[in-house]
A and B are shown apart, each in its own frame.
Chain A
Amino acid sequence: MPLSPKVLIVDDEERFRTTLGKLLTVKGLQVDNVGSAREALALLGENNYDVILLDVKMPEMSGVEALAEIKKINSGIEVIILTGHASVDVAMEIMKLGGYDYLLKPCPVEELLAKIETAYDRKREREGRGPKL
């Protein structure tokens, strides 16, 4: 990968996000991680992330709410939802809000990596074509 995507992991489970961070880093990605949606939103202003990995079930602000906020701040960021439990309702909500994909935990890193790459490709493609209305 010539250009490596900048990824933000948002998950209240500390060990999950730090180890995932290490795994993605050794694959050549630039990774930050935070434990809550609020921290994530605060980081968006000063960083240009390409892809955000977002947990659904978090205290205070859920991943679904966070997704809506992220899209308001920067609709170009691709968001992949990671969740421990599949629910059709939640999945629909996420797609409606412009989420890129929806992945179930546990999920092998290779699979996640592939999703991040296609999400990143899509983002660059769109940016190359200029802003869409």
Chain B
Amino acid sequence: MKIRGGQPRGRRLQLGVRGRDGGAISALNINRTGAPMSGSEPLDRAASSLVPPTGGKTRAKDSFDPIRHQLLTGAILLATTIVALFSSGAVLAVCGAALAAVHWLSGRRWARAIEKAREEKRFLDEQLIQSQKLAAIGELSAGIGHEINNPIAIIGQEAEWMRHLLQEEPGKTEEISDSLREIVRQVERCRDITQKLLNFARKMEPVFQGVDVNRLVDDMAKLVEKEAKLRSIRVIRIFQSDLPALFTDPPLLRQVVLNLLNNAMHAVGEKGAITITTSASGRDFVNIVVSDTGCGIPKENLGRIFDPFFTTKPQGQGTGLGLSMCHGIMDRLGGRISVSSEVGKGSSFSLALPADK
């Protein structure tokens, strides 16, 4: 992609934006003082290094300060936009930046240009979200293929086997009921998957309420504690007592915490510990960390564990939707989820939620 601004009315403006193969964006060279700025630098740095013209005409100087301010913030904002949206429409956003700069130099109203660029950004954002949704649906349908077709295949075979038994070996009633039981089991498995998918797809607006985080986390810990005891897994709580107030959707947060605990139990298997920590980063974030002494996650899987249907559990045991659900929920709650892990040592999942200020 190449975009070049002109050199309006004798003022030496050079505006070049280059990007290669959807990669780095470089070079916004604006030169108002004479000597050409050479080379290329990241757009946002270039934009923030725009310097006020020294000396020069009164008109340019008069209009400079507010323009400079707007241009800097505007251009930086646009520069960020470009980086984020490069593959899907950076051209427009860059044009916005170019327009703003040209308007600045030609002394026209730049505010409109920036407003226009912002509109373009909104439009591009929407398009991006739409395309991400489509990608997600593609991924989901691939996953559904794997996960639903297996139980359906089993159901079909059991039915065929029952037909065979009824026609050829009608005395084998125990075997027939065994097939029936299997069918019921597999139907349940399908239902489990579709249920999770529905929850996943349903975009229920979260209802934000004041939450006592320690209490909420403790409740979830209690749910797994009984089973943990049977399997010699210690559940350790390290709670910070004076956490900042948190406004969030309690059932959604519970779901996330429970999923993490569930995964941790699974990873530990038998004998080990799960540590649940709550803390605050300043007054801005409340953190909940679930660590385990389990099997850990190999590096090559770390990038995939949040993908829908990614699972390393045996067929029929994990649907691979737990963490992707957690990720979706944390997005909706305005928080973040992150992971660190070492194979053989254990894993640690951290939640960061914005505190109410």
Contact = CB atoms under 8 A, between A and B. Distances in A.
Nearest to A112: B157
A82 B312 CA distance: 20
Contacts of A26: 164, 168
A20 B142 contact: no
Contacts of A106: 149, 152-153, 155-157
Interface of A is mostly: loop
Nearest to A85: B145
A108 interface: yes
Given A12-B315, A13-B316, A109-B160, A19 B154 contact: yes
A15 interface: yes
Contacts of B168: 26
A7 B97 CA distance: 66
B146 A22 contact: no
Contacts of B179: 19
Given A59-B314, A84-B145, A86-B145, A13 B150 contact: yes
A22 B163 CA distance: 13
Contacts of B314: 12, 59
B160 A23 contact: yes
Most buried by A among B152, B157, B182: B157
Contacts of A22: 161
A84 B156 contact: no
A18 to B, nearest CB: 9
B244 to A, nearest CB: 43
Contacts of A107: 153, 156
Contacts of A13: 150, 154, 315-316
B41 interface: no
Nearest to B179: A19
A126 interface: no
A84 B149 contact: yes
Interface in B269-315: 312, 314-315
Interface in B141-188: 142, 145-150, 152-158, 160-161, 164, 168, 179, 182, 186
A105 B153 contact: yes
B145 A16 contact: no
Contacts of A104: 149
A91 to B, nearest CB: 13
A16 B153 contact: yes
A57 interface: yes
Quick one: which of A15, A26, A87 has the most chain B CB within 10 A?
Answer: A15
Nearest to B157: A19
A16 B150 contact: yes
Contacts of A15: 154, 158, 182, 186
A91 B282 CA distance: 53
Top 8 nearest A-B pairs (CB, nearest first) are A85-B145, A84-B149, A106-B153, A105-B153, A106-B156, A84-B146, A19-B157, A105-B149
